[in-house]
Chains A and B, each alone.
Chain A
Amino acid sequence: GIQVEQSPPDLILQEGANSTLRCNFSDSVNNLQWFHQNPWGQLINLFYIPSGTKQNGRLSATTVATERYSLLYISSSQTTDSGVYFCAVWAAGNKLTFGGGTRVLVKP
């Protein structure tokens, strides 16, 4: 099946810093989602982005499907951005495959 790899596995940021998270996938995908899992475990939809670029406030995402990767940008990070960021892809078959996540800690 498809493999989804996220990097870096862990990220420590000072409040106000910018960062980029990466998601690589091993095969063609139909769609891709980015999620934020808060410290209480809730998964929050960030982006549904099979290709192109989208922005939502301080967050933006770019997916280059032909090169099999997606990037999530966090600008002017805040402590509330802490948590785990997951990339998940739809490939052949009816299921969403998740990467291992990037754990982000934003220090005040």
Chain B
Amino acid sequence: DGGITQSPKYLFRKEGQNVTLSCEQNLNHDAMYWYRQDPGQGLRLIYYSQIVNDFQKGDIAEGYSVSREKKESFPLTVTSAQKNPTAFYLCASSPGGAGETQYFGPGTRLLVL
């Protein structure tokens, strides 16, 4: 059953705490992406990776970090430097890079306590 999985579905963060969101894909896609969605808004790009061991900042990378050690995995860490982390986080992948169709996971809702 191919697709993109994200975990957890809901995540609660205390002030000053780092948390990591998981994104896994078994589609054999080269490129992976992280987006943030605030209520009533569109999606904004946080980070993307077009190949293993390489990634680039998107429009709103401050306060976030990523790694791409395996082709199928692209975890996102929300650090304590991110002052307003409450949002819906979506992971996506595409077969190649620019211009190719992106497919999205089900998302993780992060709430700061």
On A, residues with C-beta under 8 Å from B are 4, 30-31, 33, 35, 40-45, 48, 86, 88, 90, 93-96, 98-101
16 contacts between A and B (CB under 8 A): A4-B42, A31-B100, A35-B104, A41-B106, A42-B104, A42-B107, A43-B90, A43-B104, A45-B103, A86-B42, A88-B43, A90-B99, A94-B56, A94-B97, A99-B42, A100-B41
The range of chain B's interface size is 20 to 34
A51 to chain B, nearest CB (A): 13
Q: Is B113 an interface residue (CB 8 A)?
A: no
Given contacts A86-B43, A98-B42, 6 further A-B contacts (CB under 8 A): A35-B104, A41-B106, A43-B104, A44-B104, A95-B48, A100-B42
Tell me the minimal C-beta distance from B109 to chain A in angstroms.
8
Residue of A nearest to B102 (CB): A96
